[in-house]
Structure 1
Amino acid sequence: MKKKIAFATCVQLGLSCIEEIYHIGGNLNLLITLQDKKAKDKSGRIYLDEIASEHNAPLLKVDNINDQEVLRALKEYEIDWLFIIGWSQIAKKEVLEAPTHGCIGMHPTLLPIGRGRAAIPWAIIKGLEETGVTMFKLDEGVDTGDIIGQGVIKLDQNTTATELYQKVDDMHITLFGKYWEDIVNNNITLTKQNDADATEWPGRTPKDGEVLNSMTMDEADKLVRAVTHPYPGAFYKGEDHNIRIWSAKINKYEGAIKLRDGYLIPIDYEIEG
C-alpha cells in the first residue's frame, strides 16, 4: 500500500520538489509552511497557497515545525513520511517519530561533507571542484541521518551562487524523480554516514560578505561569487559610502578596490549610503 506523505517547506527548493512530485503523478496528503508573516526576508522564501489550492491539498501554516498543531496534523492525516526541506528550524524527536516511518530531508552537499549551514556559499568560498545534494532520513543530529541517495554537481572557478543555487534546485528535482516510487512503496535502502569523513560548516550572516583590503584577489573573487543573488551580496566599506557588489572582475586597475595583491573591479554594483 502506498504511503501517505506530508511536505514541509518555505523556500523555492522545496516548492520545486513539490511541483516535481505532482508532475510525476505523485500525491501529497498534507502541506506545511511558515506563517505568512515569518521569514519574509529569508532567501528564496515562497508561499504554498496556490499549489495547495490547485491540488486540493490541506495546508497548515505554523510558527515552528515542533508546534503541537504539527503533531496533531501528522496524526490526523495518518502520515507515513514527512519531508522537511529548506526549513531552518531543527525538528525535535517528537516530530521525527510522529510519521509512521519518519522524516526525510535534503542537504546541498555530499554528506557527510559540509554538515550545517550556508552550504552553497561555502562550496564556492572553499573552492570545491564538486558538491552535490543528499537525500537522507532525518535524525536528531544536524545532517547526520542515513543516506537515501546523492547527486554530484561540478563547480569551476567561475561558478556563482546564482548558478549553483539553480543546479542544486535541479538536483533536488532529479533525486525526487529517482527515489519517489521507492519511498512511497517503502522500498528504500539506507546507508549510514561515515562520521570519520564528516566536516561541519558554520552559518553565515550578511556581515560576512564584507570585502576587505587584506584579502587576496582570489579570496575576494570567491566571496563575491559566493554571496551574490539569491543571497545579500558582497560589500565594500568606502570612505563616504558602501558598495554592494553583485559581480566583479580582477585586474590591475588603479581606482578599483585595492586588495593585497591586485585590484577588484565591481561590474554589477550599487552605491549605498
Structure 2
Amino acid sequence: MKVAFATCVELGKSCIEEIYRLNGNLDLLITLKDEKAAKKSGRVYLDEFANKGNIPLIKIENINDIEVIEELKRLEIEWLFIIGWSQIAKKELLDTPKQGCIGMHPTLLPVGRGRAAVPWAILKGLDKTGVTAFKIDEGVDTGPIIDQVEIPLLKDETATTLYKKVDNAHVVLMKQVWNALKENTLSFTVQDNSVASYWEGRKPEDGEISAEMTMSEANALIRAVTKPYPGSFYRNNHYEYRIWKAQFSLDEPKAELYITLKDGYLIPVIFDKEEVLENA
C-alpha cells in the first residue's frame, strides 16, 4: 500500500505520528512552503520528521499544483490523506491516487461543513462535536463518511481545551482508518444532505467585543477564539486589549479595567494591551 500525506498543521502531524506508531509508513509528505501561511493557527513544519524517517517531502503553494500530481503519479500512490488543509482539492488531484483521497473534518458531518469548526462549536453552544473521516469528493466536506469520533463539550469549553480534544480524536480516528486500510475493510456511508449545515469562515476581526453584547455572548466569544486562535479584543482610548480569559459580574466591578456590556460587566483576567496607532 503506497500512501502520501498532505498537512501543515498539528492535527495532521499527530496523525502522521500515529501511522508510524502503528508501524505504518508513508511514501510521500506534502506541506506548504515555509513562508506561506506562517501565522496559520497550529502551523507545523515536517522537515525534521521527514529527515528522520527518510521520507520524501515536497513543499508547495497549492495542493493542486502540477508538481503534486506528477509526484503522486511517479510514486504510484494509492491513497492520499489531506488533513488540516484549507485549500479545496480539484478533480484532477482527487483522481490521481489510485484509490482516492481521505480527509478528516472536526465536526460530526454532515453538520458543520466548511470552516472554523472549533470556534463555531463553542459559539453555537453545542453539547457535542467530533471528528469525521471521509473520502474527499469535489464538494466541501460532502464525501462519503468512513468513521467518526464524538467529543462531548463542557459548558466552559475553550478553544484551547477543545483543540486538544480534537487533536486526540484525530489520532483515535487515524488508528481506525489505518487499520481498515491495512485489512481492506474500509467502508463508506453517503452523507444525509437533508440534515447538512455549513459554517462560514471566520476572520480575526470577528473577535471584537462590543458593548451591545450580553455577558453570555462575550463569554462564548472569548472562549471560542482564545489560543491557538487570534483571540477576542476590545478597543478603547487608543488601546486594544487582546483578551484571553475573563470574568463577568452583574455589579459594577472595583477593578481598574473592565468593559460595560448590555447586561453586566466583563473583567479581563488574562490579556495583552497594545497601543492602536492612528490611521493604522
Q: TM-score per shorter chain, which class? A: over 0.9
**Matches for 1:32-71 after TM superposition, within 5 Å:** 32-71=30-69
- Please name the residue that 1:134 is paired with: 132
In the alignment, the residues of structure 2 paired with residue 124 and residue 19 of structure 1 have an alpha-carbon distance, to the nearest angstrom, of: 28
- Please name the residue that 2:238 is paired with: 240
Question: Is 1:196 matched with 2:194?
Answer: yes
Question: Is 1:10 matched with 2:20?
Answer: no
In the alignment, the residues of structure 1 paired with residue 263 and residue 155 of structure 2 have an alpha-carbon distance, to the nearest angstrom, of: 18
Q: Give the deviation of 1:256 after TM superposition.
A: 1.4
In the alignment, the residues of structure 1 paired with residue 199 and residue 107 of structure 2 have an alpha-carbon distance, to the nearest angstrom, of: 11
- Please name the residue that 1:272 is paired with: 274
- Please name the residue that 1:253 is paired with: 252
User: 1:211 pairs with 201, 209, 218, which one?
Assistant: 209
Amino acid at match of 2:261: L
In the alignment, the residues of structure 2 paired with residue 102 and residue 80 of structure 1 have an alpha-carbon distance, to the nearest angstrom, of: 7
Q: Give the deviation of 1:136 after TM superposition.
A: 0.4
Q: Give the deviation of 1:185 after TM superposition.
A: 3.7
SS at match of 1:47: coil
Q: Give the deviation of 1:78 after TM superposition.
A: 0.6
In the alignment, the residues of structure 1 paired with residue 252 and residue 125 of structure 2 have an alpha-carbon distance, to the nearest angstrom, of: 25
- Please name the residue that 1:104 is paired with: 102
**Matches for 1:134-153 after TM superposition, within 5 Å:** 134-153=132-151
SS at match of 1:180: helix
In the alignment, the residues of structure 2 paired with residue 167 and residue 33 of structure 1 have an alpha-carbon distance, to the nearest angstrom, of: 23
Q: Give the deviation of 1:221 after TM superposition.
A: 0.1
In the alignment, the residues of structure 2 paired with residue 20 and residue 156 of structure 1 have an alpha-carbon distance, to the nearest angstrom, of: 27
In the alignment, the residues of structure 1 paired with residue 182 and residue 261 of structure 2 have an alpha-carbon distance, to the nearest angstrom, of: 54
Q: Give the deviation of 1:19 after TM superposition.
A: 0.5
Q: Give the deviation of 1:178 after TM superposition.
A: 1.7
- Please name the residue that 2:278 is paired with: none
CA deviation vs aligned residue, 1:58-114 (integer Å, no higher than 9, x gap): 111111100000000100111000000011110000000100111000000000000
In the alignment, the residues of structure 2 paired with residue 138 and residue 8 of structure 1 have an alpha-carbon distance, to the nearest angstrom, of: 13
SS at match of 1:21: helix
In the alignment, the residues of structure 1 paired with residue 144 and residue 165 of structure 2 have an alpha-carbon distance, to the nearest angstrom, of: 23
Q: Give the deviation of 1:240 after TM superposition.
A: 2.9
SS at match of 2:63: coil
In the alignment, the residues of structure 1 paired with residue 252 and residue 223 of structure 2 have an alpha-carbon distance, to the nearest angstrom, of: 20
Question: Is 1:21 matched with 2:23?
Answer: no
User: 2:156 pairs with 152, 155, 158, which one?
Assistant: 158
SS at match of 1:99: coil
Runs of 4+ aligned structure 1 residues displaced above 2 Å come to: 252-255
In the alignment, the residues of structure 1 paired with residue 236 and residue 266 of structure 2 have an alpha-carbon distance, to the nearest angstrom, of: 13
In the alignment, the residues of structure 2 paired with residue 155 and residue 74 of structure 1 have an alpha-carbon distance, to the nearest angstrom, of: 39
Amino acid at match of 2:126: L
Aligned length: 271
Amino acid at match of 1:75: K
User: 1:120 pairs with 118, 121, 129, which one?
Assistant: 118
CA deviation vs aligned residue, 1:33-55 (integer Å, no higher than 9, x gap): 01111110101111111111111
TM (normalized to structure 1)? 0.98
Q: Give the deviation of 1:157 after TM superposition.
A: 1.7
In the alignment, the residues of structure 1 paired with residue 168 and residue 105 of structure 2 have an alpha-carbon distance, to the nearest angstrom, of: 13
Q: Give the deviation of 1:184 after TM superposition.
A: 3.3
Q: Give the deviation of 1:253 after TM superposition.
A: 3.1
In the alignment, the residues of structure 2 paired with residue 70 and residue 80 of structure 1 have an alpha-carbon distance, to the nearest angstrom, of: 14
Unaligned residue ranges in structure 1 (runs of 5+): none
In the alignment, the residues of structure 2 paired with residue 146 and residue 213 of structure 1 have an alpha-carbon distance, to the nearest angstrom, of: 44
RMSD: 0.9
Q: Give the deviation of 1:25 after TM superposition.
A: 0.7
Amino acid at match of 1:137: K
Amino acid at match of 2:208: E
SS at match of 1:38: coil
